[in-house]
Structure formats: C-alpha cells, structure tokens
C-alpha cells in the first residue's frame, strides 16, 4: 500500500465504515436495536466495567452511530467522537464533564441564539455561569479569565452573520489559562475549517446542519482532539479522579488521549440520556458522503448571492466574509480559504418592516429556523431565533431589527438571485 | 534509522503486535479497576502468552497465571516486556531485561511512561522500543475493534470485516492511513489460549 494520507473526500465516504461481517452489506446497516447480547457473564462484566470494547445498550453506543463517530473524528482530525441527539445535547454533555456548580465558561457573544439561551438560562440553573466575551476583541477573553474558568467556547464561523473567529488567538488565551478551547464548527463543517489544526481541544457540531445537510435528521457530535491534559491539576475531577460509578477507574489514566470522548459517553450520555437514533445516524452518514461537493456548492452560491445583494438598491449592508471589503475577509482567507460558508446576514434600508415583507414575498426560499439545508432558507432573527434577547443584545449578537439571515442552498444560483430580486422589488 | 518516539508508524506497532507471542507485564495489578489489569486481560484474551511480574503479589494469580517477582524468575524466553511503571522506574527494568538470555525483542512503556535514555540503551542492544502507548489500545485501534467506542482507528478497509469471535475479537489486517498492510491476520484466533 502507498504511504499517503487519504484525502478529505475519501474519508468522507469511507472512514469508519466497512462491509458488514455477516451479510456483506456495503452501506452501513441501521442497527435499530436497543440492546446487544453478551457472550457470557464475564463478557458482560467486562463491558460494564469498561474493560472490553463493545456494545451494551444504544444509550451508551450503537454500531451505526459508531461509524458516524469515527467518520467525523477522522474528518476533524480528532482521536475519537461521540454522537448525541442534537447539537444542544453535545454542549450539555461536554460541559457536564468540565463544570461543577459555581464554575464558569467564557463564551463568545456571537453564538447561535439557541446556545445563548441554553447558556444563559438552562445552564444557570445548574450553577454553571457564563462570562460573555467579544470574539472581535481577543483581550475581552483574557480579561474574563477567573480561577473558576473551566473552558472557553466559540463558533468557528459565527451565527448569525457568518463572521470568522480568530481561533488561534483565542486558543492561545485558553492555553495560558490552562483550560480547553471548545469550538462549535457547525457552520464551517470540517470541509472549510478544521479547528483542531488551529488549537481547539474539543469540537462540537449540530449534525443537523451541513454535515447531515438535507434538513431531515437532528443530531449532534463531540470530537476529542486528544490534546488536553486533564490530570495536570485537579480542575477536571470527572477525568482525573477515581470514578465511583466504575469502581474507582480514572478515565484519563485508563483511556489516554481519547479520555474526553469516553467520559462524555460513559459519564455523560449514559447518565443524561440524549442518545442519537441509529436511523438518524444513518441519514447523517449518507449526507456526509457528499459533504465536500455540497459544501463547495453552498459556498459558491452564497458568494454569488452576497455579491448580488451588495449592489442591490434596497440593501444597506451585506455581512459576508467572502466579499473583499468585509471586515472578516482576511480571517476568511486564513481560516476558510475554500469559502466563507453559506450563512450570512444583510440589512434592509426599509428596517424591520422590510424584513418581514421580504420573508413573506420570497417564493423559493423557505422561512424556517434552520440552516445548512440543501434548500435555501431565510429568517428574520430579531423576530425569531434572537427574539428573546433585548434590543442591545440583539445588536451585539448581529441580529438587529433590519437584519435578515440567509442560509444558501445548492439550487441554481440564478434562481436564488431571481427570487430575492422579485421579493425585494415587491 | 533513528526511531521517532513522538509518532510511531502504524506498521511499526502492527509488526510488533503481530510478531510477539509472549509478554511479561511488569507492574501488573490483580486489582480489577487498574489499567494494567484491563490490558493484561485484554491481551490474554487476544491469545498472547501473558506473565504478570510484581514482587508485591507473588503467591497470587492473574487470570490463572502465577505472579513472578522479577523478569529473571520467568525462566524462559520472553518476546516483549510491557512496563506499567512511572517513567522514573523504567531504567532498572530495562537494565534487568537486557541481562536476560536471550534478551526480549521489544520493550514497551505504558501510556504516560517515557524514558529516552532507557530506550536508547535498549535500541543499542537491538531491541525495538515503544513508549507512552498502551498495547490494548493499539491492538483495538489497528483491528478497528476500538471503533465500537467511536475512536478514530486511522485505518480504512473495503473488505468484509471478519466475523468477530468471542463477540469482539477482530483482525489486524487493515490498511492504515499512514500506509502498510500486513498479511498476518488473526494470529490470536488460530492461537487460542482462552477457553471458547
């Protein structure tokens, strides 16, 4: 065999999958089962005691899900991954391994509105505090570090405006603070950005978006970069201390550089319960096979649409990092040279009402609260995804009243431009 | 060729795991939540001839194998020494291993353990050395068995997977990302030491 690393497209099709041992099925079978038989009592005890690799119960692991996990780990360049029910579940499971009540994370202020809600309200009830920082001002991350800080959380390409985050600069802050950097890579997908190459210790995704790609299945995933030493001080006892639920096993000592993914599985997913359906794992795996093709088309279409809007008389501004004048264009050329993604915002001269009118006049774009579908999507964040924020927070997070967000699909770009043009003129 | 102990080629690890038959585990523990116990049991179930070495447990057995106090007490040739000790305790074990006749073929230092001076000494005597790795994890990764846990095996295969025996045992016969394929397949399956 040749001494070469397979390319991204090869991994997208093959990583983690192998013809089924009993039937020879080439596509990954859907193991739609709750449970798996043990060979004997010793085998069962070995599996429950984490001494053997294998399947017990689909809430802990499933062979279809395992193919998805290995595939995304390979695409991201991580040591291991854990698939869960949604992107939100991934964030919950990750932070459960890292935070105790009274601990805090530093999060970029520019995040998916759902993440802002989750961190602000749901996690606050667990005693997990969040300090917000501005991804455009690296010093604001440094200034937010306290003795209680346990992690830094950012998006690689940030919702809703498609801004590009300087991952390496924030990774340097995390290293100095001795905490892991968590990067939500949903809007970029590993085709555009591989955060681990830039210093991320943990990558999370909503698989629901570009990885699945077809708007038909929810899912989330956690990728362990294998880079963080969880035992160097006593900050992460879930990984460094003997675990009573496994008779005193220390997770990092036992599992080495994929200990975080194992902790998420055997302490997080097992006990919190947000398991991914094997059927959804199958749908998402099928989507990932075409990720490189789709993602390039998404980016090329988005750039064409952004260029069209930037000269349109009804439009006051376009925020798309792929445009030469955009404030994030230099970061885009560094971190995402193949394209700036397909989610971006633009502002209408007519303000809030013009936004509402545009959404109702579009014929091809679908008005819904998702991104990363084959279909082109539109939403008015101020009245939907970001509606729970006050006006000042809306502006700070890029969701001012006159702003419309697009997620550009893989249709013919001429049809998308024609639809936007007629709706802006209507 | 100077060995790069920061990043091993998969073929290097694979050839060691495919060729050694007997492994003396220094620092093996009879306590069933210790990593050494996990690794000992796993490797024994994959067909390796395992010998537990720990002076603190002489008189006891690990999976039916009696503990010995030292490498010299084994009394027969051994292919590989797997050292489950901290980095600071590696050198005396390597020195003891090099006094054996014949000497072992491989010195393996467990995950977290590394002593470059000891490695150099062993390599100068013609031994292969692996540091800061776990043979259980490496076997599981190269056979893709560990993929059941969502781990990136860094291997690909378009061939039908062998039907796992004993529920989980798979073959090392896969193509690594970094290249290399071994014709040696499931030695463990042929060389059954575990009771079916």
Describe the crossing of helices A413-425 and A351-361 by its angle, rounded to 10 degrees: 130
For A54, the closest of B112, B148, B178 (CB atoms) is B148
Query: How far from the centroid of its chain's Cα atoms is residue A299's Cα?
Result: 18
Model pLDDT for residues B19-77, shown as the tens digit of each residue = 999 999 999 999 988 989 999 999 998 899 999 999 999 999 999 999 999 999 999 99
What pLDDT score does B175 carry?
A: 67
Does A261 touch chain B if contact means CB atoms closer than 8 Å? yes
What pLDDT score does A53 carry?
A: 82
- Of B137, B141, B93, B140, nearest to B115 by C-alpha is B93
For A54, the closest of B32, B137, B167 (CB atoms) is B167
What pLDDT score does A51 carry?
A: 81
Name which residue leads in pLDDT, A389 or B170: A389
% chain A with pLDDT above 70: 99
Q: Outline where A311-374 has alpha helix (H).
A: 329-335, 351-361
Question: Would you list the DSSP string of B115-154?
Answer: -HHHHHHHHHTT-EEE-S--HHHHHHHHTTGGGGGTB---
User: Rounded distance, CA A89 to CA A92, Å?
Assistant: 5
Cβ separation B156–A248 shorter than 8 A = no
For A18, the closest of B137, B151, B157 (CB atoms) is B157
User: Rounded distance, CA B112 to CA B133, Å?
Assistant: 7
How many CA atoms, within 13 angstroms, populate the side-chain half-sphere of residue A207?
34
Cβ separation A18–B178 shorter than 8 A = no
What pLDDT score does B187 carry?
A: 29
Model pLDDT for residues B141-168, shown as the tens digit of each residue = 888 888 888 998 888 888 887 776 654 4
Between the two ends of chain A, the Cα-to-Cα distance in Å is 61
pLDDT above 80 (res A17): yes
What pLDDT score does B29 carry?
A: 95
Mean pLDDT of A290-312: 98
Q: Is B167 exposed, middle or buried, given 0-12, 13-18 or 19+ CB atoms closer than 10 A?
A: middle
- Which positions 53-112 of A are in contact with B (Cβ < 8 Å)? 53-55, 61, 63, 65-67, 69-70, 73-74, 78-83
What the block records as the tokens of B184 is 């040696």
% chain A with pLDDT above 90: 82
User: Rounded distance, CA B176 to CA A230, Å?
Assistant: 28
Q: Which residue in B has a C-alpha nearest to residue A260's C-alpha? A: B151
User: Rounded distance, CA B65 to CA A294, Å?
Assistant: 57
Contact B168, A52 (CB under 8 A): yes
Model pLDDT for residues B20-29, shown as the tens digit of each residue = 999 999 999 9
Measured in angstroms, the CA of B160 and the nearest CA of chain A are apart by 5
Q: E strand or H helix at A281, and its extent?
A: helix A278-289
Residue found under tokens 């501004």? A317
Name which residue leads in pLDDT, A387 or A10: A10
User: Rounded distance, CA A373 to CA A379, Å?
Assistant: 13
CA–CA distances in Å: residue A294 to residues A21, A40, A325, A409, B127: 31, 46, 26, 9, 50
Cβ separation B152–A265 shorter than 8 A = no
Write out chain A residues lying below 8 Å of B166, CB-based. 39, 43
What pLDDT score does A377 carry?
A: 96
Q: Is the peptide bond before B102 cis (omega within 30 degrees of 0)?
A: yes
Tell me how far apart the 2 most distant CA atoms of chain B are, in Å. 48
What pLDDT score does B174 carry?
A: 67
Model pLDDT for residues A147-157, shown as the tens digit of each residue = 999 999 999 99
Within 10 Å of residue A100's Cβ, how many Cβ atoms? Answer: 15
What the block records as the tokens of B56 is 């603190």
Contact B81, B104 (CB under 8 A): yes
User: Rounded distance, CA A150 to CA B133, Å?
Assistant: 28
Cβ separation B160–A18 shorter than 8 A = yes
What pLDDT score does B153 carry?
A: 86
Write out chain B residues lying below 8 Å of A262, CB-based. 149
What the block records as the tokens of A402 is 């006159």
What pLDDT score does B166 carry?
A: 53
Model pLDDT for residues A253-300, shown as the tens digit of each residue = 888 889 999 999 999 999 999 999 999 999 999 999 999 999 999 999
- Which positions 2-31 of A are in contact with B (Cβ < 8 Å)? 2-6, 10, 14-16, 18-22, 24
Q: What confidence tier does B122 reach under pLDDT thresholds 50, 70, 90?
A: very high
Model pLDDT for residues A209-219, shown as the tens digit of each residue = 999 999 999 99
Contact A347, A315 (CB under 8 A): yes
Contact A278, A30 (CB under 8 A): yes
pLDDT above 90 (res B111): no
User: DSSP E strands: which ranges in A313-389?
Assistant: 315-319, 343-348, 366-367, 377-379
Contact A16, B155 (CB under 8 A): no
- Mean pLDDT computed over every residue of chain A: 94
Beta bridge pairs of residue A132: A107
Q: Which residue in A has a C-alpha nearest to residue B196's C-alpha? A: A39
Cβ separation B150–A80 shorter than 8 A = yes
Cβ separation B148–A247 shorter than 8 A = no
For B151, the closest of A54, A67, A79 (CB atoms) is A79
CA–CA distances in Å: residue A191 to residues A297, A339, B151: 12, 10, 20
For A39, the closest of B147, B153, B167 (CB atoms) is B167
What the block records as the tokens of A285 is 């795996």
- Of B47, B93, B100, nearest to B72 by C-alpha is B100
Q: Which residue in A has a C-alpha nearest to residue B35's C-alpha? A: A254
Here the ipTM equals 0.86
- Of A121, A178, A166, nearest to A140 by C-alpha is A166
Tell me which DSSP letter residue A6 carries. P
Cβ separation B160–A21 shorter than 8 A = yes
User: Rounded distance, CA A264 to CA A78, Å?
Assistant: 15
Within 10 Å of residue B158's Cβ, how many Cβ atoms? Answer: 10
For A18, the closest of B112, B154, B161 (CB atoms) is B161
Model pLDDT for residues A342-356, shown as the tens digit of each residue = 999 999 999 989 998
Model pLDDT for residues B167-191, shown as the tens digit of each residue = 444 566 666 665 333 222 222 223 3
**3-class SS of residue A198:** helix
Could you give all domains of chain B from N- to C-terminal order, each with its CATH number? 10-135 (3.40.50.720)
What the block records as the tokens of A66 is 């395992």
What the block records as the tokens of A4 is 């070469």
Choice among A41-55, A103-117, A162-176, A354-368 with the minimum mean pLDDT: A41-55
> β-strand B155-156 against B175-176: which pairing, if any?
antiparallel
% chain B with pLDDT above 90: 60
pLDDT above 70 (res A400): yes
Could you give all domains of chain A from N- to C-terminal order, each with its CATH number? 33-287 (3.40.640.10), 291-425 (3.90.1150.10)
What pLDDT score does B141 carry?
A: 85
What pLDDT score does B180 carry?
A: 33
For A70, the closest of B38, B152, B157 (CB atoms) is B152
Q: Outline where B29-111 has alpha helix (H).
A: 35-45, 90-98
Mutation site, A7, A19, A51, A276, interface B, largest B CB count within 10 A: A51
Measured in angstroms, the CA of A378 and the nearest CA of chain B are apart by 35
> If phi over 0 gives left and psi between -120 and 50 gives alpha, with beta otherwise, what is residue B64?
left
pLDDT above 80 (res A57): yes
- Of B55, B57, B105, B53, nearest to B83 by C-alpha is B53
Q: Outline where A99-243 has alpha helix (H).
A: 113-117, 123-125, 138-144, 167-177, 189-192, 237-240
What pLDDT score does B184 carry?
A: 26
- Which positions 187-246 of A are in contact with B (Cβ < 8 Å)? 242, 246
């Amino acid at each position: 065999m040749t001494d070469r690393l397979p390319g991204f497209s090869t991994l997208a099709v093959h990583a983690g999958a192998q013809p089924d041992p009993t039937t020879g099925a080439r596509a990954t079978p859907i193991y739609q089962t709750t449970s798996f038989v043990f060979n004997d009592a010793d085998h069962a005890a070995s599996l429950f005691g984490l001494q053997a690799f294998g399947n017990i119960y689909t809430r802990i692991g499933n062979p279809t899900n395992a193919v998805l996990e290995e595939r995304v780990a390979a695409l991201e360049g991580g040591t291991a991954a854990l698939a869960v029910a949604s992107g939100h579940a991934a964030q919950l499971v990750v932070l459960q391994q890292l935070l105790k009540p009274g601990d805090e994370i530093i999060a970029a202020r520019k995040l998916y509105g759902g993440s802002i809600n989750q961190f602000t309200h749901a996690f606050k009830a667990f005693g997990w505090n969040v300090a917000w920082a501005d991804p455009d001002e690296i010093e604001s991350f440094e200034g937010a570090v306290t003795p209680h800080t346990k992690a830094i959380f950012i998006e690689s390409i940030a919702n809703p405006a498609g801004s590009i985050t300087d991952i390496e600069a924030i990774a340097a802050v995390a290293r100095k603070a001795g905490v892991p950097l968590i990067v939500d890579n949903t809007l970029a997908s590993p085709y555009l950005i591989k955060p681990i190459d830039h210093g991320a210790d943990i990558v999370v995704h909503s698989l629901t978006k570009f990885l699945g790609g077809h708007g038909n299945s929810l899912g989330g995933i956690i990728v362990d970069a294998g880079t963080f030493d969880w035992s160097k001080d006593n900050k992460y006892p879930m990984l460094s201390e003997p675990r009573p639920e496994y008779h005193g096993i220390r997770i990092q000592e036992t599992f080495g550089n994929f200990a975080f993914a194992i902790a998420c599985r055997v302490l997080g997913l097992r006990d919190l319960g947000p398991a991914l359906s094997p059927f959804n794992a199958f749908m998402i795996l099928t989507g990932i096979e075409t990720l490189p093709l789709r993602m390039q088309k998404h980016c090329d279409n988005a750039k064409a649409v952004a260029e069209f809007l930037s000269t349109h008389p009804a439009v006051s501004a376009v925020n798309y990092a792929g445009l030469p004048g955009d404030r994030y264009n230099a970061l885009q050329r560094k971190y995402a040279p193949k394209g700036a993604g397909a989610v971006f915002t633009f502002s209408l001269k007519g303000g809030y009402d013009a936004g509402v009118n545009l959404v109702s006049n579009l014929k091809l774009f679908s008005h819904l609260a998702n991104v990363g579908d084959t279909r082109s999507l539109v939403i008015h964040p101020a009245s939907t995804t970001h509606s729970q924020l006050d006006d000042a927070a809306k502006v700070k997070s890029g969701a001012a009243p006159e702003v419309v967000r697009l997620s550009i699909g893989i249709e013919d770009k001429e049809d998308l431009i024609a639809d936007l043009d007629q709706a802006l003129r209507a | 060729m100077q060995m790069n102990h920061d990043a091993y080629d998969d073929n290097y690890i694979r050839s060691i795991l495919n060729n050694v038959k007997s492994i003396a585990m220094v620092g093996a523990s009879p306590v069933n939540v210790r990593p050494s116990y996990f690794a000992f049991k796993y490797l024994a179930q994959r067909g390796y001839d395992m010998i537990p070495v720990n002076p603190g447990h002489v008189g006891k057995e690990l999976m039916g194998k009696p503990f010995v106090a030292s490498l010299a007490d084994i009394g027969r040739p051994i292919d590989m020494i797997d050292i489950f000790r901290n980095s600071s305790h590696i050198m005396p074990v390597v020195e003891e291993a090099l006094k054996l006749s014949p000497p072992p073929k491989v010195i393996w230092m467990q995950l977290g353990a590394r002593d470059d001076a000891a490695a150099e000494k062993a390599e100068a005597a013609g031994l292969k050395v692996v540091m800061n790795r776990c043979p259980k994890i490496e076997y599981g990764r190269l056979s893709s068995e560990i993929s059941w846990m969502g781990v990136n095996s860094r291997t690909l295969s378009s061939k039908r997977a062998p039907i796992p025996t004993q529920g989980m045992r798979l073959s090392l016969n896969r193509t690594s990302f970094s290249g290399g394929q071994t014709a040696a397949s499931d030695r463990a399956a042929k060389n059954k030491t575990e009771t079916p």
